[in-house]
Amino acid sequence: MKTLYADPVIGMIGLLLFFTLFVGILTWLFWPGSKEKFKQHGEIPLKDGHDE
């Protein structure tokens, strides 16, 4: 089991996987039009619930 963690190829695959995930999240976060969606989601706790 120790050799699995010491393998540099697996380490590089993990690094690339998490880097790709990070870039994907940043792309989704700053996508045009998402600002308005986040603003609407941010106002949910302030709504009364009886207005629906």
CA angle 40, 46, 52 (to 5 degrees): 75
* Secondary structure class of 46 (helix, strand, coil): helix
**Is position 51 within any domain?**
no
Give the pLDDT of the chain (52 residues) as one tens digit per residue.
566 567 788 889 999 999 999 999 999 888 888 888 888 888 888 887 765 5
pLDDT recorded at residue 2: 60
- What domain count does the chain have? 1
pLDDT of residue 11: 87
Q: Is residue 19 included in any domain, yes or no?
A: yes
> Does 52 map to a domain?
no
Hunting for tokens 């690339």 — which residue is that?
16
Let me know if residue 11 belongs to a domain. Answer: yes
Within a domain: residue 36? yes
pLDDT number for residue 33: 85
Q: What is the pLDDT of residue 50?
A: 62
One-letter amino acid for residue 23 of the chain? V
d(Cα 42, Cα 16) in Å, to the nearest integer? 32
Structural domain boundaries, residue 7: 2-46
